[in-house]
Amino acid sequence: MLLSIFSTSIGWFVFASAVSIPMLFLGRIIDGIAAGNFTTAQSYLVDISKNDEKERVKNLGIIGATFGIGFILGPMVGGILSNVSHAFPFYFAGGMALVNGISAFFFLKESNHNLNTDKLHYNPFRRILHAYRNLSLRPLYIKWFLFCISVVIVQTIFALFVQKAFNYNSFQTGIMFTIIGVIIALNQTLLLNTFWIKRFTNKQLEQIMLIFTIIGLLLAATENIFLFFAAIPFIGTSQAVYRVVVANSALQKADPKMKGEVMGIIVAVMTGAMVISPIAAGALFEQNISYPFIIGAIFAIIALVLSSKNSS
């Protein structure tokens, strides 16, 4: 975790001080090579949950909520700091990562005291292949991949869509992102443990959130501003709850020693979707601004069909 955090700090400082395009890429490469602080943080919270499902869900919800809060505050803070200079927000991000790393070094205790860990493998495809061969988790990974594609396709063109469909400016677009962030944070701080987990099983939640995704994307595809606003709670709620359900379902089936690896695979699957989806989103958006939402809904429908055939 420390390596990842400090690499993020260095990456942002290099990016902020860049005087050429190759240097910009170098900054992102430095961060990307050691990326994984979010995954490691999730694994840390899983480690300290002591196999207590309620505590594990609570901890996963907390880290998801912090992500949602960052989603709310980040664009606003970045916009304010950009008034100083275009580079200042990136220096600020690097400084925050540095403070975070120093704080973790001094105050964060080791969660895994078992030194008899498996040998490190540097080939990432080995882990992906191993994950695919895991028959108990394979259906979950496939459904998660389909969900991530549907979400990332929409996220990629979201700002462009509201600007073209509703003539929104940058400030209004930022407000839309803030609303989604608030919905995510509310679900993961309040509703996740007090309502969703208490009322429904993982299997039921998985299907409900996929249905929410389908409804939200199809409503948004109408290009009607009232239906678009009606779609936001469905989209925000599904994003907030589904990722926790996937993580919790996977951890229930995973060997205790493999929980960190399972969390890493979940993020790797999401990253794979993030590589593929933006290219498809751009091509679809050029054809019709509603196509990304429709195609995203189709992927969610496929995931829902698979969910109805497999236990999560």
**Residue 38 sits in the same domain as residue 151:** no
Judgement on whether residues 265 and 312 belong to the same structural domain of the protein: yes
> How many structural domains compose the chain?
2
Q: What is the C-alpha separation between 44 and 73, in angstroms, rounded?
A: 24
Kindly compute the dihedral angle of the four CA atoms of residues 133, 136, 142, 147, in this order, to the nearest 10 degrees: -150
Same domain for 142 and 94, yes or no, is no
pLDDT of res. 140 = 92
Residues 129 and 209 in one domain: yes
Rounded CA-CA distance 282/157 in Å is: 7
Residue 160: CA count within 13 A, CB half-sphere: 17
CA distance 207 to 31: 35
Report pLDDT for 82: 83
Residue at 75 is within a domain: no
Closest CA to 296 of 92, 152, 114: 152
Examine the domain organization and report whether 97 and 157 are in the same domain.
no
Three-state SS for 241-257 is: HHHHHHHHHHHHHCCHH
- Same domain? For 101 and 190 the reply is no
pLDDT by residue for the chain (312 residues), tens only, comes to 788 888 889 999 999 999 899 999 998 888 877 666 666 776 677 666 666 666 777 777 777 777 767 767 777 788 788 888 889 999 999 999 999 889 988 887 776 655 445 555 555 556 666 666 777 888 999 999 999 999 999 999 998 999 999 998 877 887 888 888 889 888 888 898 889 988 999 899 999 999 999 999 999 999 999 999 999 999 999 998 998 899 888 888 877 677 767 877 888 888 888 888 999 999 999 999 999 999 999 999 999 999 998 754
Domain-located, residue 227: yes
Tokens of 246: 């996937």
Same domain for 174 and 94? no
The torsion angles phi and psi of 195, rounded to 5 degrees, stand at: -130, -65
Pair 172, 231 in one domain: yes
Supply the CATH number for residue 311's domain.
Answer: 1.20.1250.20
Measured distance CA(300)–CA(213) in Å, rounded: 7
In this prediction, residue 125 carries a pLDDT of: 58
Give this prediction's pTM. Answer: 0.78
In a domain, 16, yes or no: yes
Residue 183 structural domain: 122-312
Same domain, 175 and 301: yes
Residue 137 in domain: yes
Do 78 and 171 touch, CB atoms closer than 8 A?
no
At position 215, the amino acid (one-letter code) is I
Q: Residue 142 falls within a domain, yes or no? A: yes
Type of residue at 219: L
Q: Which of 277, 272, 283 is nearest to 299 (CA)?
A: 277
Q: Are residues 96 and 168 in the same domain?
A: no
Is 216 domain-assigned? yes
Is the domain of 215 the same as that of 189?
yes
Asked, for residue 103, whether it belongs to a domain, the answer is yes
Overall residue count recorded for the chain in this entry: 312
* 260 and 192 assigned to the same domain: yes
pLDDT at 170: 75
Q: Which of 226, 92, 237, 217 is nearest to 155 (CA)?
A: 217
Q: Is residue 222, in this structure, part of any structural domain at all?
A: yes
What pLDDT does residue 114 have?
Answer: 56
